[in-house]
Amino acid sequence: MSPASKSFPPVPDALRARNPLRYLKFYGPGAIIASVTIGSGETIFAARGGAIFGYALVWCLVLVSFLKAIQAYSGMRVVTLTGRHPVHYWARMKGPRAWFPFLLGIVALVIMASTFSALPKALATLVMQLFDRGPALPDYATQLNLVASAILVVCALLAIRSTYRTLELGQMAVILLFLLFIVASFLALRPDLGTLVWNALIVSFPEYPDWVRESYPAVALRPPWVEAMTFIGLIGGNSTDYMAYLSFLHDKQWGLAGRLTPSEEEEDFPPPETKEECAKGKLWLRAPLTDMLLSFSMVAMFSTIFLVLGASILAPSRLVPHASELLTVQARFLTELHPRLAPLYILGILTVFLGTIYGSFELQTRALYECRRAVAARWTKASIRNVRRFVVVYGVASGLLLIWTRWDPVSLFTPAILLSVLASGWWCFAMLWVDRRFLPKPYRMPAPLAAGLLVAGFVLTAFGAVSVYELLTQGS
């Protein structure tokens, strides 16, 4: 059978069912994205955003979660319908060969270095606290860096033999564990849902309260919009995470994903346009749509809960997660219910962060694997094992280098995440181009989805551009 006539595989009965609950069996890749982003976006920056700005950023959280969901799904459609990752189409954009995949690869390398330094260092602060080793000790910084280095190396060794299935099952367990104790704390607080909904609908711009300026002058030195966008940029993941997300669809074999031979992947052929095949293709789209809706619902829920916990528990006590207390102050989310619940928080955080660091190696591997294949023809048949080895070596080396420079984890994350917000906006425009250029009319995005993707492109580009500008002009 020639590539031009390749048809969709039979559609599972679950996707043909009228009961949407039967689609839940297709939830998988989104669990990895949701759980990996929980480790940085929700536990650190959502709680920090709530502590600093209260409910003022709820509208932004809801908006960006929605726009990122559209961004991710636009790529999932292409992989499911064509069997090819969007980077292979982006390599054909006007300009220098594969300039956009190359740019996304550079962003991935920057994010990798910050991830593998900031997250181990944040977790190391909690471990030091458990052993009663405080910042007042003369050798605290050295011990902190040693613990962070050990965490990074252990996670890297585990990631060397990582497989998609073990990663998927492990990250689902992380989500379930975290869900149990955080939702319980949220419900016990009995938050004002009316105020929460009101702030989700009313646009307001972040400003530091006086107590933050007085008690945390280092935090107040950062422009409020940069602080807010660091939080928003991490919510739901970034462009690097989504490149990996799309790569995971090959493992699931939804539609044509993972069903093309290497030679077929190199061909430029659209999905078949017969009435029967179009119907099958659209039924297959229910799988990625279900996965996306569940994963981003989880992200929005966790982000909102941590923001509310930060606003309700940390802000009244005038506490902001920062530097040596990036994770320790959040223990109040459970100790407010009962002092003996502190070990449960520690167990949850250790599980989430170790899972995030471990999972990040595979996400970065998948993202760079796809970019590498698109950038150079000689890498089209490159082995993912070689890319994984590079990610482990580069991730550990860059992570250790930044860990031992003694930079603050928040400072490490900020430039990479703001750059990623900007790249996400460009991603949306690039996906519109792929949809119109390479997909036959019956498979193109419905008008509402295309309009939403266009809006996402403009909003994320504007957010990223303003944030990068404010970061560059900070203090000038």
Per DSSP, the residues of 341-403 read: GHHHHHHHHHHHHHHHHHHHHHHHHHHHHHHHHHH-GGGTT--HHHHHHHHHHHHHHHHHHHH
Give the residue-averaged pLDDT of 15-30. 84
Residue 208, helix vs strand vs coil: coil
Specify the pTM.
Answer: 0.86
Q: Contact 325/216 with Cβ under 8 angstroms?
A: no
For the ranges 220-229, 413-422, 434-443, the lowest mean pLDDT is seen at 413-422
Q: What is the pLDDT of residues 156-208, one digit of tens each?
A: 988 887 665 666 666 666 666 666 666 777 777 777 778 888 888 888 888 89
Name the architecture of domain 24-472.
Answer: Up-down Bundle (1.20)
Give me the residue label for tokens 């490149």: 243
**Amino acid at residue number 439:** L
Q: Region 298-324: what's the mean pLDDT?
A: 82
The answer on pLDDT for 62 being more than 80 is: yes
Does the pLDDT of residue 152 top 80, yes or no? yes
**Range from 7-11, 106-110, 218-222, 327-331 carrying the lowest mean pLDDT:** 327-331
What is the Cα–Cα distance from 16 to 18, expressed in whole angstroms? 7
Which of 133-137, 255-259, 333-337 tops mean pLDDT?
255-259
Task: Identify which has the larger pLDDT, 424 or 335.
Answer: 424
Closest C-alpha among 161, 167, 204 to residue 53: 204
Single-letter amino acid, residue 456: A
126 or 10, which is more confident?
A: 10
Q: Please tell me the predicted confidence (pLDDT) of residue 140.
A: 84
Q: Tell me which range, 37-51, 159-173, 354-368, is most confidently predicted by mean pLDDT.
A: 354-368
Confidence category of residue 39, pLDDT binned at 50, 70, 90: low
Alpha helix locations (H) across 23-160?
Answer: 29-37, 47-53, 58-82, 86-90, 99-130, 140-159
Q: Which position has the higher pLDDT, 101 or 474?
A: 101
The answer to which of 4-13, 98-107, 240-249, 358-367 has the lowest mean pLDDT is 4-13
Q: What is the pLDDT of residue 164?
A: 59
- What is the Cα–Cα distance from 345 to 102, expressed in whole angstroms? 40
What average pLDDT is seen over the chain?
A: 82
Residue 354 has pLDDT above 50, yes or no: yes
